[in-house]
Each structure stands twice: as C-alpha cells, then as structure tokens.
Amino acid sequence: MATGYEQWLEMASKQMKGKSPDTLNWKSPEGITVKCMYHEDDLKGLESLSMFPGMAPYTRGPMATMYAGRPWTIRQYAGFSTAKASNEFYRKNLAAGQKGLSVAFSLSTHRGYDSDNPRVSGDIGKAGVAIDSIEDMKILFDGIPLDQMSVSMTMNGAVIPILAMWIAAAEEQGVKQEELQGTIQNDILKEYLTRNTYIYPPEPSMRIVSDIMAYSSKNMPKYNTISISGYHIMEAGADSVLQCAFTLADGVEYVRAALKSGMDIDTFAPRLSFFFGVGMNFFMEIAMLRAARYLWYKLMQQFNPKKPQSSMLRTHVQTSGWSLTEQDPYNNVIRTTIEAMSAVLGGTQSLHTNSFDEAVCLPTELSARIARNTQIIIQEESQICRVADPMGGSYYVEWLTNQIVQEAEKIINEIEEMGGMAKAIASGMPKMRIEESAARRQARIDQGKDVIVGVNKYRLKDEKMDFDILEVPDSVRLEQIDRINHIKKTRDNAKCQACLDAITKAAAGKENLLGAAIDAAKARATVGEISDAMEKVFGRYVATTQCVSGAYSSEYSEASSDSAQVIEALRKRTADFLAKTGRRPRILVTKMGQDGHDRGIKVVASSYADLGFDVDISPMFQTPDEAAKMAIENDVHVVGASSLAAGHKTLVPELIQKLKEQGAGEILVVTGGVIPPSDYQFLYDAGCKGIYGPGTPITESAGKVMDMIEAQYCK
C-alpha cells in the first residue's frame, strides 16, 4: 500500500501532466533549494521537535508564554529636525499607543560633528534629530519620565558623548543611573561593514564598546549595553544567512572584547541585545530569527556562562527600508504588514514598522500613525498573541530553520578560522560578500526574476505622488548653531576645558571614557568637542573604497534572453565609445554629506563596471568641493551623486556650482536615490541632467547616461 507521501507524488504528477513536482523547486538568494511541499520525513533527526518556548536553546522563543504572557514592545524609530520637534512627535506617539522610544539621530551627530561644522551643512536634522549638547538632550526628553520609559538609541560613532548626555540629562531630570532602562546600539563593527558612521579606527572603537559595557554593568543594571545589529547588514544587501552569520559573529567578538577587559560573562551577557531586519521572504525571515536564537545559545556555551539569561538571544526587529518603493507607494503598507508578521511569528521582543512614504521622504504624522497602527492591529485584533510560537512544528519552518543554522554555521566557522570578526572585517571578506549579494539581487530585479509589484511588474502608466512630503528646512541648522553659541557663551569654559582634557587623558590611558564624558556633558561640552578630545589620541578613520566585479552581469547568464541582449547592447555602446574617443565612458560615483549607507553607490559602481564603464568611487563623506576636485582630477565624463538623507537640495547644486567654478562645467551631473518627485524640477533647474529614483533598473539608467555622454562628447 502506498504511503501518504507516495500518493501525494502521484497526485502532483498527474496535476502537472507527468512532470515531477521537483520542477517546482526554487533556489533562494541564500542558496537554499526550497521544495513545494514538506512533510515529517524532512524533520528526521531535528532536535527542535522536542523544544519548548522559554527553554534552551530558545529556538521557540526566549520566554515560556511569549506574547500570550506579554506582547512585544511597539518601539517606533523616530527623530528629525530639532529636539523640540522630535519631542512633540514622541509625545503624540506615546499617547497613541507606542510603548517605547527609539531615537534616530542626525547624520552630523552620528559622525561626531557639531551643527556649526562646515562639513555637515546639508545634513542637520535631515535624517534624525540633531543633538549638540546636553541642552538639546533635555529638550528631546522634556516631559518624558526616563525612570519609566525604555529608550533605545541608534548610535555608534559618537556613542560616548550621546550616551553621556542622556545620562546627564536624566540626572538633571532627577532620575538615578540605576533607574535607566533601554538600549544603546554601541555596535561599531557593523559600521565598518555597512553603515559607515564610524569616527575612530577599529581598535580604539572596540575599547569604547568595552568601556560602555563596563560602566553600564556597574552603574546601570537595567540598561542594555549593546544592540548587535543585523538590520544594516540586511539593508546593505545581505541575504538572511549572511545577516544571521555576520551579526552573531559580531556578537562573539564583543563578548571576547568584554572578557579581555576583565568583565565576568554573567555580568554583561544578560544585557546584550540584538537588532535584526526582516524583508519580504516571509518564511525565510521567521526561520532566520529562530535560527539566530539557536545559534547564539550554542556559540555562548564556549564561554561557560552560569546564568541562563547569558545565552538567551533577545532582539528588536525593524521592517525593511530597502524593500519600500517610490513607485505605487501605498503598496508599502502591505509590504510592511507582511514583514511585521514575519517578525512577530519569528518571536521578536520589540518591533519598528516603517512608514509607507520613507522611500521618498521622512515619515509624516499620518504615515507614522499607519505604521504604528499596523502593530497595534496585529496585537489587538489578529489573536496571534494567544499562542506561544504558533509556527513551532511547521514542517517547512522547522526544516528551513535548520537550513539557515547549517549555512550560517559554515560562515561563522570560516570567520573563526580567520581569527574572529575583527580580522575578517580587516580582510574585506564580509563587506565583499554583502556587496556581491546586493549586486546579484539588483540584477534579478532588473530582469524581472524577482518581482517588485509596481516597479518591474503591474506598473502604473501614469502615477502622481498624492501624499504630503515632510521636508526639514535649512533653518534647523541656524537654530542649532544659535544654541551652540549660547551654551559656549554662558558655560564655565575653564571647567569645560578641564573636563575635555580629562577625556583626552583617559583616551591615552585606561580610565573609563564614559565616566569622563558624563562630567564633560554636565559642564556643557558639545558632541563635537567630546569627540575631538578623543580624536586627539585615536585619530579619525578613513576607509578604502572598492567594489565587486562580475556579480551583476553573472545573473544575466542566458545568452538568448532579452535581458542578456540588453546587457550586450550596452557593452557594445561603451566599446564603440572607446573606439571613437580613445577611452571608455568614465563615471565618478560619489556620496556627499555624512550619510554612510553605501549600498546604492556600490551596486551602481559594480554594475556600471560590468557594462564597460570606467568607474571611480569617491571616499565616503565628501564635500561637494572635494567631489568636484576628484571628478576633474580623474577626468570623468559624468558624476553620479547618490542621495538618501534629504541633503540633495543642498549638496547637488553646490557640486554643480563647484564644477563650474573650477572650469569643468562640461562634466555631467546625475543623481539618484531617495528624492521626492516634487524636488526633481528644482534639481533640473540647478543643472542636474538626470534623476534616477528607487526602482530604476541599472540598465535603464546606464542607457540614459550613455545617451548624455554620446551627445556631449561624440559631436
């Protein structure tokens, strides 16, 4: 008698007119071959079947009852413009049901610059709240009781001055350090991998991490001293296996750094937390979160912890920003809902849901409300919270969890053989793997292999942006500068300088940097001054820039396909240009301002190189003047400026003007990234020749750039 599985095979083959169901198998970006159906035979030998929530290795969740006992924390990430504006926004959100705060800081603040620094003229308050001193921090949390409110702060580069100012502001509010709750990200390793908001070289940066962990463990027992972030690794282009492996490897590196500094594993490990991103592969993201908990437990056993909490992975999750589209933007509401569901079913402890308009601008009050209510509705209406780990026992999810465990383990073991994550980062391996993954993903989207509704399929013919755009005015910078000037005039400058000198002395010695910085914050030292006091000893880190080759074009493997013909046509055009002019079309890809997200420029650079362009990539954080000089020195035909953090209306026109001033007005300037369509005409009027928003296929933008270059240089 045939088994149930054999009967299914027969039925499936008939339905498929004799074809094997194996023809429905597909390979995920992680390299995992996924079948169309799973059953109990796929789970033979898996220990997960005997696991329960709240029990090691915590695959099914860190708490026994999970959301049936306590739902996840709704922790929306927000901050923009001034401290006053952000405070008003926070208060409204808390009144509407948000349970915790997650602070987004200005890019200038991330990089340790005060708002009056000329390098950050286009960055102030555009992608987060600008904090220059304790006075800004006091305004930010005015009326918000810090002895009751859990506060998460995404800060890594300028983590010492920002955490110091928060602690000092709380004390001036009457809150003791031991009462403070929340999380500081304090994850510098991923900055060298993806987000690039570092200040100092890796070694002193790791010293900063351990100093914060040591100080907080002693003085702030309720505070999470580090949030090890996979979110930015995902946003930079990593698939779920890479995100899981690199994030956990970062975590192991921090544990070793803390142990090396003399800390006890059970003193700091229970306060470690993680931060993962989830995208649109629904079951893959659920499985990734479950696999991460399992792997972290296993990895922690080498350090012989005695407390169960020391091996328990707790995580915040954020839905993907990269998956949001400028085209047909209301689709983003559905995308965020799906991603939120995967985070919840994966067992997160807190969650941020992105707003639908973030592909083009900062979230408005309306879009932020929709994003927040997405979580509230899941919590209050779906009944999902009634059962602990409802996905436990799913043939597919359990099998997929095990696959991610196996694949991530391979990468973690590879990193261990290299000597740990710090050495792996120094070798460039993780960054190159992430960039390769991003390039391959873009190629699949450009070909339509990976469907993005409204972008490469079911696209609207005529589309207008029919929602409000939030724009941060340039006057924010002037307001911040006025407050800095007032502070410097009214403080005890001698006392302040003595505190700054103490920080420099601590940086050169072994005194705890956070303790010294708290004293400086109370003396009204600024973020820039505290950062500079450490920079005198540590120096400022400058990364080398490179890109992968061949990853984008390798996805166009079918020589007869229409997509492959597009690639070959573009390669012929660049070759013809070489024959006519004696050189290839040359483009400088640059990221001006303090935004460190480099996925866009890396994907563009690597794909354009595959198409036959000579490609130069500028160092990160250039000023328009520096970008113009590099364009002239490298004798490029076109500059491609990437924008993500709302600085385009300041930085792109300034770049065009600097080229003209230096006698190179013939160099074409194009731009791309997160730019509201309402700003397009402003940029065209300023002299920008092409604008390519999110969702633009690389082949389309490259074709249009070649049109411009040929018209300009092949007359």
Three-class SS of 514-534: HHHHHHHHHCCCCHHHHHHHH
d(CA 124, CA 492): 27
Nearest 10 degrees: Cα torsion 444, 448, 449, 455: 80
Catalytic residue of the set 110, 126, 352, 597:
597
CB atoms within 10 A of CB 572: 11
Name the DSSP letter for residue 441: H
Q: Strand, helix or coil at 307?
A: coil
Q: How far apart are CA 590 and CA 215, in angstroms?
A: 39
Of 627, 625, 624, nearest to 616 (Cα)? 627
- Tell me, yes or no, if 597 is annotated catalytic: yes
- Token pair belonging to 669: 């300037």
Of 504, 487, 515, nearest to 212 by C-alpha is 515
CB 441 within 8 A of CB 237: yes
Q: Which letter does DSSP use for residue 642 in this model?
A: E
Tokens of 350: 């807190």
> Which residues on adjacent β-strands are paired with residue 615?
587
Catalytic residue among 591, 637, 648, 658: 591
Catalytically annotated residue among 138, 190, 232, 648: 232
Region label for 430, one of left (φ > 0), alpha (ψ between -120 and 50) or beta (otherwise): alpha
Token match 């960055």: residue?
123
Q: Which of 250, 231, 274, 233 is nearest to 431 (CA)?
A: 233
Q: How far apart are CA 385 and CA 68, in angstroms?
A: 5
Q: Which of 442, 450, 434, 449 is nearest to 611 (CA)?
A: 442
Which helix H or strand E contains 692, and what residues bound it? strand 690-692
Are 685 and 561 in contact, with CB atoms under 8 Å apart? no
| DSSP state string for 19-59 | --GGGG-EE-TTS-EE-S---GGGGTT-GGGG--TTSTT-T
Active-site residue, selected from the candidate residues 67, 200, 231, 692: 231
Name the residue among 279, 280, 256 with its Cα closest to residue 268: 256
The type of residue at 169 is A
CB 504 within 8 A of CB 479: no
CA–CA distance, 191 with 312 (Å, rounded to integer): 24
CA 428 to the chain's CA centroid: 19
Annotation marks residue 595 as catalytic: yes
Could you confirm whether 591 is annotated as catalytic?
A: yes
In the block, tokens 């780990």 appear at 389
Q: What is the dihedral of CA 191, 195, 200, 203, to 10 degrees?
A: 10
CA-closest candidate to residue 186, choices 150, 217, 157: 157
Of 595, 598, 610, 679, catalytic: 595
426 φ, ψ (degrees, to nearest 5): -60, -30
| H or E stretch at 403 | helix 395-417
The strand pair at 182-184 and 586-590 is best described as unpaired
**Active site positions, annotated:** 77, 231-232, 591, 595, 597
